[in-house]
Structure 1
Amino acid sequence: MEILESINKTNLTTLSNNVLDKNITQWNETTIFGIILFSFVLFPGAMFMQQSFPLLFQMLWTVIISSLLAMIKSILPTKFLPKKSIKGQTILITGSGSGMGRLMAIEFGKLGGRIVLWDIDEKMNLQTKGILDDLGIQSAAYQIDLSDRKQIYVLAEQVKKEVGDIDILINNAGIVSGKKIFDCQDELMEKTMAVNCNALFFTIKSFLPAMIERRRGKFLIKISKKKRNFLGHIVNVASLAGLAGINGLVDYCASKHGAVGLSEALRSELLSQGLPITVTTVCPYYVNTGMFDGVKTFTPYFFPILDPNYVVKKIIGAVLTDADELYLPRATYFLIALKGIFPTKAATAFMEYFGFNRTMNTWTGKKQ
C-alpha cells in the first residue's frame, strides 16, 4: 500500500482522463454488444478492485477499455466505422509527384480537401497538379528537397502565407538505396535517413504548432464537441521495414524504424498534454510503385506485393476514422505479435521461412 500511495495521483489521473477523452467518442460509436459482454465477464473482479484499490483500478480500467476499443476497431471493416469529413481542410502531401503521393492527392481532393503538393521532381509534381486542376480540385505545388532542413522551414513559412495553416500533414516521401551496408556510400545512407526520418521532425515542427493552437483557441467554443476531434492530423507513412530488419535494406530499415518511433513518441507526447491530435502510423509491405520494382515475395498469400490503389484506399480510411496505426497486409499484425512474444531466434526463423531476407535479391527499383 505504501508503494501505491507514493504514486503521483495527479499525473496518473490526468493521463487516464486524456486517454478516455480521446476514446469516449469511439466508445459510444462501437458495438454495445462487445462492451456489455466484456464488462459482464470482468464485473465481479472490477467491483472488488474499485473498492479496494481505486487508483490502481482506474489505471487498469483505462488500459482495458482502450485495448477493447482498439481491438474492435481493428476487426471491424472501415465501412462500418464512423468517419469524419475533411471537406475544406488543407492537406499537405510530401512525395506527391508520383506513386501513392499522387493517388492520395487525387482521392483526398475528391473528398473536398485543398491539396498542397511537395516533391523534389518539379515536372512530375506539376503533372499531379494538372490532374487535380482537371478534376476541379484546388491545389498548390512546390518543389523541395526534403533532405535539406532549411528548405523545409523556409517553404513551410511560404505555404502558411500563400495557402494557410495545414490541417492534415501526410509525410509520404521516401527513398531506398537497395544496397547492403558495405556497398552503400555514406552520403547515400545520410540522405536516406534525412528524407525518410529526419524530414518528418522538421515538417511536424513546422505545422503542428498551428494545429495545437486551433485546439486551444477560443474559437473552439463555437465548434461542436464532435467536430473538435477533426482538427489536426499527422500521417507518417513508414513501412513493414520499420517493424523488422530485412536483408539488403539496412539504411532503409533504420530510417523507417525511426519514423515508427517518432510517431509513437509524438502520440504519447500529445496525449500527455491533453491534445487529441491524431498521429497515424502507416506500415505497408512492398508497394508496387516503382520504388521496389523487382522485389519478389515468397509467400504471396500472406504477404503479397501491394497494389498502390488498395494501400491509398486503406490510408484514407485510417485518416477518416482517426486510426492510430495501419499495418498492411493483415498478416503483419501476426508478425508484430510474434516478435513481441517469442525469442529473437524464433522470430528470425519465421522471417526466413517467409523469405523476407531474400526479397531484395532481385530488386531493380529506382536508383538514388
Structure 2
Amino acid sequence: MVMFILNCLLLLPFLIFCFLESLLKIFIPKKRKSVTGEIVLITGAGHGIGRLTAYEFAKLKCKLVLWDINKHGIEETADECRRLGAKAHAFVVDCSKREDIYSSAKKVKAEIGDVSILVNNAGVVYASDLFATQDPQIEKTFEVNVLAHFWTTKAFLPAMMKNNHGHIVTVASAAGHTTVPFLMAYCSSKFAAVGFHRALTDELAALKITGVKTSCLCPNFINTGFIKNPSTALGPTLEPEEVVNKLMEGILTEQKMIFIPFSISFLTVLERIFPEHFMAVLKQKVNVKFDAVVGYKNKGQ
C-alpha cells in the first residue's frame, strides 16, 4: 500500500501536464477526421436521434446501413439519405433479439461489406416506478439498451480490429451517470451502457488496437416524445438537432465521452466527492420532473 501511494505521488508532475494539455485543447480545437466512403451502421435509425444522425453521415458521403424495428420509419430515413446523395440500405431488425442481430449482421457483411462505424443508438424507456414496470418491459430495456451493444459489437468489431480502423459509438444517457426516480430500469441499463463503453475502450487499449476509436453520448432529456413533459433546472429540454450536432462533433474529433449539456459532467464528479446529504439536497434543486406511472400504492393495497 505504501509503495502504491509513493508511485501515485510520482505521477503528480504527469497529472499537472495532463491538466495543462486539457486546458490547451479547449482553445485549440481538434481537427475533424474524414469519414467519406465509410460504411456506417446505425441502430434505431427509423426516428429521432438515429434518423438525424443518419442524415448527417449521408451529407458526409458515407454508405449507410440503417436498422430499426419499424419498417415504415427505416424506409423513410433511407429515402432521405439517398436524396442527400448517399447509398443507404434499410434492414428491419429487432434489437431485442440476439439471433435477429446476428443474422442481419451476416447479411450486411455479405451484401454490403465491413462496417467501420457502428452507432449503437436503439433504445427503449418506460417512465414508471419499479412496481408499475412490467417484467417483460424490464427485460426488453436491458435487451435493447445493453445486450444489443454486445451482439452488434461482437459481429462488427473483428473486421475493425483486423484493419485497425473503426469507431464504435454508444448512445447512453445522463441517466447512465446519475439516477432518476421512476426510471429505474432505464437508469440501470444506461449505467450498464456507460460501463460497456468504458470497458470496451480499456480492452481495446490492452490489446493495443489503436485505430479503433470509441465514443459515448450522454445527453439530458431530449425532445423526442419518449418521456412526456420533462423538465429540469439544468436547462431546457434538448432538441434532437442540437444533440446530433454535438454527437457528430464528438465522433469526428474522437471524443471519448460526450456530455450534453456539459454541466452533466460536473454532476458526475460531485456525486463522487460530496457528502450524500448534500447531494440529496442538490438533486432536489436540479428538480427533475416528467410524467410517470407510479404503481407502488396499488401494489400495497
* TM score, norm. by length of structure 1: 0.74
Residues 1:291 and 2:243 aligned together? no
2:66–2:88 Cα contact (<8 Å) kept = yes
Q: Of 53, 58, 62, which aligns to 1:109?
A: 58
Per the TM alignment, residue 132 of structure 1 is displaced from its structure 2 partner at its CA by: 1.3
Q: Give the secondary structure class of the aligned counterpart of 2:36.
A: coil
Does 1:265 find its partner at 2:199?
Answer: yes
- Contact map agreement 1:93 1:169 (CA 8 A) in 2: yes
State whether structure 2 residue 285 is matched by structure 1 residue 353.
Answer: yes
* 1:335 paired to 2:247: no
Larger Rg: 1
Render the CA deviation track for 1:264-290: whole Å, top value 9, x for unaligned: 111111111211221101100011112
State whether residues 30 and 253 of structure 2, in contact with CA within 8 Å, keep that contact through their aligned partners in structure 1: yes
Work out whether 1:188 is the aligned partner of 2:119: no
SS across alignment from 1:181: coil
Mapped partners of 1:232, 1:63: distance in 2 = 29
Segments of 5+ residues of structure 2 without an aligned counterpart are 295-301
1:145 and 2:94 equivalent? Answer: yes
The AA in structure 1 aligned to 2:189 is: S
Q: What is the CA-CA distance between 1:342 and the residue it aligns to?
A: 0.6
- Which of 155, 158, 171 is the aligned partner of 1:237? 171
Q: Which AA in structure 2 matches 1:261?
A: G
Query: 1:313: Cα distance to partner?
Result: 0.4
Q: Which residue of 1 aligns with 2:298?
A: none
Distance in 2 (CA, whole Å) between partners of 1:65 and 1:233 is 28
Q: Given the superposition, is the C-alpha separation of residues 259 and 102 from structure 1 closer, same or farther in structure 2, using an over 3 Å criterion?
A: same
Q: For residues 240-281 of structure 1, give each alpha carbon's deviation from its aligned partner in whole angstroms, at most 9, with x where no partner exists.
A: 010111011000000000000110111111111211221101
Distance 2:8 2:275 in 1: 31
Aligned to 1:173: 122
Which of 201, 206, 211 in structure 1 is aligned with 2:160? 211
User: Between Structure 1 and Structure 2, which shows a larger proportion of helix residues?
Assistant: 1
Moved over 2 A (4+): 55-73, 358-363
CA distance in 2, matches of 1:57, 1:353: 37
Which amino acid in structure 1 is aligned with residue 180 of structure 2?
I
RMSD (Å), alpha carbons: 2.3
Asked if 1:303 is matched to 2:230, the reply is no
Q: Does 1:281 align with 2:216?
A: yes
Q: Which amino acid aligns with 1:343?
A: P
CA distance in 1, matches of 2:151, 2:78: 24
Percent of pairs identical after alignment? 37
Q: Which residue of 2 aligns with 1:81?
A: 30
TM-score, normalisation: structure 2: 0.90
Mapping 1:62-101, distance limit 5 Å:
64-73=16-25, 75-76=26-27, 80-101=29-50
- Structure 1 183/292 Cα, relative in aligned 2: closer, same or farther at 3 Å? same
Q: Distance in 2 between matches of 1:279 and 1:62?
A: 24
Q: Is 2:257 the partner of 1:325?
A: yes
User: What amino acid maps onto 1:197 in structure 2?
Assistant: V
Alignment length (residue pairs): 292
In the alignment, the residues of structure 1 paired with residue 242 and residue 17 of structure 2 have an alpha-carbon distance, to the nearest angstrom, of: 31
Amino acid at match of 2:36: K
Separation in 2, partners of 1:160, 1:140: 12
The alignment partner of 2:37 has SS state of coil
Per the alignment, do residues 339 and 158 of structure 1 end up closer, same or farther by CA in structure 2, a change over 3 Å counting? same
